[in-house]
Amino acid sequence: MRIKTFQADTMQDALAQARAELGEDAVVLNSKHVKAGGVLGLGALTRVELMAAVDDVADQPQTPKTESIPHPIAVNSKAAATAYGGTVSAQPAAIAESESEIRQIRSDLRNLSEVVKKLLTYQPQSTETNQPLLVRLGVDDDIARGELSDLIDIDNSVELASALAGKMQAFVAPPLHSGRQVIAIVGPTGVGKTTTLAKLAAKFAIEQGKKTALVTADTYRIGAVEQLRTYARIMGLPLEIALSPDEVSAGVEKHSDKDIVLIDTVGRSQRSDEHLAELAAFIMAGAPTQTYLCVAASQSRAVQAEVIEKFAVLSPNKIAVTKIDESLDRGSLVNLPFRSGLPLVCSTMGQNVPHDIEFADAGTMAGLVTEVVQ
Ligand SMILES: Nc1nc2c(ncn2[C@@H]2O[C@H](COP(=O)(O)OP(=O)(O)OP(=O)(O)O)[C@@H](O)[C@H]2O)c(=O)[nH]1
Ligand SMILES: [Mg+2]
C-alpha cells in the first residue's frame, strides 16, 4: 500500500491531487485543516491536508513511506470523506456511502432484535395439544394406546363419546343384583364414603322404594355416627351402630327383612396393613353381597393405584369414583375400572345428597369423560 499526504486550499483540490497521483482507487485515510505560512502563527493560511492511500500495483511508482492504516473512505467517489479528526466540509458521495452502510447496519440490528424478541417469547408448542383427544381428556396414555387404541385417532368429542361408550360397556355394572343386597362401602379416609352411602340410600329407598337399613361400623371418628344418623333421620331409615365385628353381624341380621342393607366403614389409610386387616374383620362379619371401593378422582394416579392395590384385601367387587368435580379431568372414570379390573358402579360429583351421584351406565360415563351430554 502506498500512502501519501496532500495539501491544498480546498478539499476538492486535495482530492484531485490524490486521484491524479494515486489513481481512482485511492482512499482517504485522514484529513484535517492545517495552518500554513505566516510568522509566529500570524498571517498563516488555513489549508486542507489529506492523507490518502492506494494498494500497490505494478504500473504505479513505489514510495518508501509506510504508515499504519486507519479505516479508509474511498476517494474515487468524486468528493471526499467527512474527514477523520478533521473539519473538512461535507463530502456528499462518501457520506452517502457511509449513510447507506449505517442504514444497512440499522436494518440488520432491527432484524436481529426481532429475532431475539421472537426467541425470548418463543414457547414450544405444548405437547398437550399434540396428544390424542382421549389423553387430553385424562385417560392414561398406556390405556389410550393399549386397550383403547381403536379410539386414539378420534379427535371429535361427540364421536369419541359414542365410541368410548361402546368400550365402557364391559367396565360398568349396575348397583344392585337380584335378591337382597348387603353392600359395604370401603375406602381411604375422607374420600366420600359416608356421603356416597347416603346418596345411594336415598336412590334405593326414596327413588326406587326399596326397604333399606343402614349399619355403621365407623365409631372411630368423632362425629361419624352423628353424620350418618342425621341422614338416616332425614330419610326415615333405621341405623345400627356397630362397635365390633359381632355387632356388624348382628346389625345386618336384624334387618334381614330389608331389600338393602348399607354398611358404612371407617376410613383407613391404604398404607396401614394393620388397620386394613382390622377393617377386613368388620366387613367379613357383615357378609356383604357386594363391596364398593370408593376412590377419589381428585387423588393422584399413584395414590389411586396404591389404594386399589392395598384395598384388594377387602375383596371389593365394584369401584365408586368420587369427587370427579374436584378433579382436573374425568379420566379416572376410565382409568380406575381399566386398572383395577373392577366395574364402575357410580361416580359422585359434589356434596349435595342425594343429587350429586350418577349410576354408571356406559353412555353416561363416556359423556362425563368427554363432556358430551349423552
Ligand atoms: N366435592 C365433593 N365433595 C365430596 C364428594 N363426596 C363427598 N364429599 C365431601 O367430602 C368430605 C368427606 O366426605 P365423607 O363422606 O365424610 O368421607 P368419608 O370417606 O366417609 O370420610 P371418613 O369416614 O372420615 O373416612 C365431606 O365434606 C363431603 O361433603 C364429592 O363427590 N365431591
Ligand atoms: Mg365416613
The predicted pLDDT at position 124 comes to 52
The predicted pLDDT at position 78 comes to 41
* Closest protein CA for atom 21 of ligand 1: 190
87 against 326, higher pLDDT: 326
Q: Give the residue-averaged pLDDT of 31-44.
A: 71
Least confident of 36-40, 114-118, 222-226, 306-310: 36-40
Question: Which triple of cell numbers denotes residue 201?
Answer: 340410600
CB 83 within 8 A of CB 30: yes
Q: Give the residue-averaged pLDDT of 222-251.
A: 95
Percent of the chain with pLDDT over 90: 63
Pocket mutation for ligand 1, best pick of 351, 352, 357 (most atoms within 8 Å of C-beta): 351
- Domain ranges in the chain are 2-98, 136-370
Q: Give the residue-averaged pLDDT of 53-70.
A: 53
The predicted pLDDT at position 260 comes to 98
The predicted pLDDT at position 114 comes to 76
Whether ligand 1 lies within 6 angstroms of the CB of 354 is answered as no
Interval between CA 248 and ligand 1 midpoint (Å) = 22
**Residues that place a CB less than 5 A from ion ligand 2:** 193-194
Which range scores top for mean pLDDT: 20-34, 69-83, 295-309?
Answer: 295-309
Whether ligand 1 lies within 6 angstroms of the CB of 295 is answered as no
Interval between CA 80 and ligand 2 midpoint (Å) = 95
Could you identify the atom of ligand 1 that is nearest to the CA of residue 188?
25
The predicted pLDDT at position 122 comes to 56
Split at pLDDT 50, 70, 90, the class of 120 is low
Interval between CA 187 and ligand 2 midpoint (Å) = 9
The predicted pLDDT at position 89 comes to 40
Could you identify the atom of ligand 1 that is nearest to the CA of residue 224?
23
| Average pLDDT of the chain to the nearest whole number | 86
Q: Give the residue-averaged pLDDT of 115-133.
A: 68
Q: Give the residue-averaged pLDDT of 237-263.
A: 97
Alpha helices in the chain (DSSP H): 11-22, 92-121, 127-130, 133-136, 141-145, 157-168, 193-201, 224-235, 245-254, 273-286, 301-310, 332-340, 362-370
Which ligand is closest in space to the CA of residue 200?
1
The predicted pLDDT at position 33 comes to 85
Whether ligand 1 lies within 6 angstroms of the CB of 322 is answered as yes
Whether ligand 1 lies within 6 angstroms of the CB of 195 is answered as yes
Q: List, as one string, the DSSP characters of 1-62.
A: -EEEEEEESSHHHHHHHHHHHH-TT-EEEEEEEEEESSBTTBTPEEEEEEEEEE---TTS--
Whether ligand 1 lies within 6 angstroms of the CB of 82 is answered as no
CATH architecture of the domain with range 136-370? 3-Layer(aba) Sandwich (3.40)
The predicted pLDDT at position 129 comes to 65
Contacts of residues 7-13 at CB distance under 8 Å and 24 or more positions apart, as own/partner, are 7/34, 7/36, 7/47, 7/48, 7/49, 7/50, 8/47, 8/48, 8/50, 9/45, 9/47, 9/48, 10/48, 11/48, 11/50, 11/79, 11/80, 11/83, 11/88, 11/89, 11/91, 12/79, 12/80, 13/48
Q: Give the residue-averaged pLDDT of 227-253.
A: 96
